[in-house]
């Protein structure tokens, strides 16, 4: 026998449906925009389905017209190297700060976490002085991306690594395992869920970053966000191709969310519960 829904439950369901609509509508509008021409986008059928499905907008954005393929490759390189650097340096830093005992340990840990309080805008001038000679290479973005994301990586890993019992490291030490072997063969495999969670947060920040990418890259190493921004001309803009570029840039984030959303929730809960 089915339970009757109360008025409060009905209102909650209605609210969730409305919220779902507002969340999905931008994706729908972006997809339909990518299949229209500029006149239809700004015409009376701006919200409806395309009268003529212009799949050529994707070819134009991907190929010589929008060069999205080159920009996506640059974004993939920057993101992959950043994830590799933040995961390795973040794990080593978290292990040294939380599993090893040394003078000033808590002060250094607090000092590193304070890096999350510094916005990118506040560091633009010193970054310009440091990275000016690297603007033609990927390192102009990878170096600041790694530096700005190490604090959040350490913070996420700290919730997991403190729950690992010290007896495992003591047993490894008795068996003759050194500090590096213990860290990378015993503790690291147990930290994989935490590393995945941190990597997802870093990926979302790096993939969608625009400020540093606009300032510290030249044409050959520009990323997707800058490439899509440049598709807007001073006198004329092909908004259909721009919409196609936005869809291409958004797809990796949507796929990552659909594949990893459950993992993120489980990892965050596991890191918040001690025992």
Interatomic CA distance for residues 91 and 253, integer angstroms? 24
8 assigned to some structural domain: no
Tally of structural domains, the chain: 1
128 assigned to some structural domain: yes
- The mean predicted confidence, pLDDT, of the chain is 84
For 152-166, 218-232, 238-252, 256-270, which range has the lowest pLDDT when averaged over its residues? Answer: 256-270
CATH of the domain at 174: 1.10.3720.10
Residue 19 CB-density burial (10 A; 0-12 exposed, 13-18 middle, 19+ buried): exposed
Do 206 and 79 touch, CB atoms closer than 8 A? yes
Domain range for 195: 67-230
Q: What is the pLDDT of residue 265?
A: 64
240 assigned to some structural domain: no
Q: What is the pTM of this model?
A: 0.83
The yes-or-no verdict on residue 266 having pLDDT over 90 is no
Cα–chain-centroid distance for residue 32?
Answer: 25
Residue 275: pLDDT band by 50, 70, 90 thresholds? very low
Q: What is the pLDDT of residue 66?
A: 58
- What does the pLDDT look like over 24-59, one tens digit per residue? 999 999 999 989 888 888 888 888 888 888 888 888
Do 94 and 162 touch, CB atoms closer than 8 A? no
Reference 238, options 74, 37, 33; nearest CA is 37
96 assigned to some structural domain: yes
> How many Cα atoms within 13 Å fall on the side-chain side of residue 229?
13
267 assigned to some structural domain: no
Do 169 and 99 touch, CB atoms closer than 8 A? yes
């Amino acid at each position: 026998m089915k339970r009757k829904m109360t008025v409060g439950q009905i209102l909650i369901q209605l609210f969730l449906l409305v919220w779902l609509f507002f969340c999905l509508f931008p994706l729908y509008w972006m997809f339909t925009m990518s299949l229209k021409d500029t006149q239809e986008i700004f015409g009376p059928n701006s919200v409806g389905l395309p009268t003529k499905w212009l799949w050529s907008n994707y070819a134009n954005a991907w190929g010589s017209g929008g060069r999205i393929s080159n920009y996506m490759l640059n974004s993939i390189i920057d993101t992959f190297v950043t994830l590799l650097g933040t995961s390795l340096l973040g794990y080593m830093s978290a292990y040294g700060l939380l599993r090893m005992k040394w003078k000033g340990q808590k002060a250094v840990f607090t000092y590193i976490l304070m890096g999350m309080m510094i916005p990118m805008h506040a560091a633009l001038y010193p970054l310009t002085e440091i990275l000016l000679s690297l603007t033609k290479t990927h390192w102009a973005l990878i170096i600041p991306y790694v530096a700005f994301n190490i604090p959040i990586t350490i913070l996420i890993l700290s919730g997991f690594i403190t729950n690992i019992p010290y007896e495992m490291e003591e047993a490894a030490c008795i068996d003759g395992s050194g500090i590096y072997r213990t860290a990378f063969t015993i503790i690291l495999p147990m930290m994989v869920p935490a590393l995945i969670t941190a990597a997802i947060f870093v990926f979302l920040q790096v993939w969608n970053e625009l400020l540093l990418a606009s300032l510290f890259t030249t044409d050959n190493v520009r990323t997707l966000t800058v490439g899509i921004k440049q598709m807007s001309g001073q006198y004329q803009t092909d908004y259909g191709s721009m919409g196609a570029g936005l869809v291409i840039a958004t797809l990796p984030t949507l796929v990552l969310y659909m594949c990893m959303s459950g993992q993120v929730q489980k990892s965050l809960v596991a890191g918040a519960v001690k025992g």
